[in-house]
């Protein structure tokens, strides 16, 4: 079977492109540990106030490990701010009270889509002190641009040294 020279170049180019896409997919899964989010559990949005999400916030699990419960609703995250020590491992459990929202933490590998009735979860570590925003990345209505929360990561060693110097 005869293949024209130009057709052969196109077949090679397409094969190289498919190979590169396949390699990128495998690298993202095995090297960078990118995973598709799946719901941890289901919850009736009308019963959020009768569940563990009735009092969202940060729960200390010991050994510098935390569980953070967040509730998303038009146009706010509750709680609006949490404070963590540097090096904390945090598992986020997030629900939506009303419509689809997004949950993206700047400079971290947390990017969740929040659907009413599903509890989404992701775990990450905060190694650098600083302020990180949680942003809704799914358009949820006219107040969407204001839907942010804040994570403040504090360097506990530095603050301990400052307190000792003040005494």
Can you give the pLDDT at residue 143? Answer: 86
Cis peptide before 43 (omega within 30 of 0): no
Tokens encoding 109: 């590998």
Tokens encoding 61: 């699990």
Q: What are the phi and psi torsion angles at 73 (to 5°)?
A: -155, 160
Tokens encoding 156: 């506990």
The residues, any chain, with a CB within 8 Å of residue 141's CB and separated by 6 or more, are: 74, 75, 99
Can you give the pLDDT at residue 36? Answer: 66
The span from the CA of 95 to the CA of 41, in Å, is 10
Domain borders along the chain are 1-34, 41-160
Can you give the pLDDT at residue 14? Answer: 97
Can you give the pLDDT at residue 164? Answer: 52
Can you give the pLDDT at residue 167? Answer: 59
**pTM of the entire predicted model:** 0.72
Can you give the pLDDT at residue 4? Answer: 92
126 Cα distance to chain centroid: 12
Can you give the pLDDT at residue 34? Answer: 78
The span from the CA of 30 to the CA of 25, in Å, is 9
The answer to whether the CB of 86 falls within 8 A of the CB of 158 is no
Question: Tens-digit pLDDT profile for the chain (167 aa)?
Answer: 788 999 999 999 999 999 999 999 999 889 988 776 666 788 888 899 899 899 999 999 999 999 999 999 988 999 999 999 999 999 999 999 999 999 999 998 889 999 998 999 999 999 999 999 999 999 988 888 889 999 999 987 655 545 555 55
Domain 41-160 adopts which CATH fold? Immunoglobulin-like (2.60.40)
The answer to whether the CB of 57 falls within 8 A of the CB of 77 is no
The span from the CA of 99 to the CA of 114, in Å, is 8
Can you give the pLDDT at residue 156? Answer: 76
Q: How many CB atoms lie within 10 A of CB 18?
A: 10
């Amino acid at each position: 079977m005869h293949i024209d020279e130009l057709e052969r170049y196109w077949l090679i180019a397409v094969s190289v492109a498919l190979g590169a896409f396949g390699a990128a997919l495998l690298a993202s899964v095995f090297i960078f540990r990118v995973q598709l989010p799946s719901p941890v559990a289901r919850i009736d949005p009308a019963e959020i106030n009768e569940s563990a999400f009735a009092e969202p916030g940060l729960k200390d699990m010991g050994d510098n490990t935390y569980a953070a419960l967040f509730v998303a609703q038009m146009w706010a995250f509750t709680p609006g701010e949490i404070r963590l020590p540097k090096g904390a491992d945090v598992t986020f459990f997030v629900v939506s009270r009303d419509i689809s929202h997004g949950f993206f933490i700047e400079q971290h590998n947390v990017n969740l889509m929040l659907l009413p009735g599903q509890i989404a979860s992701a775990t990450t570590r905060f190694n650098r002190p600083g302020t990180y925003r949680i942003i809704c990345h799914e358009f949820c209505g006219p107040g969407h641009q204001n839907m942010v929360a804040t994570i403040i990561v504090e360097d506990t060693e530095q603050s301990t040294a400052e307190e000792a110097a003040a005494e």
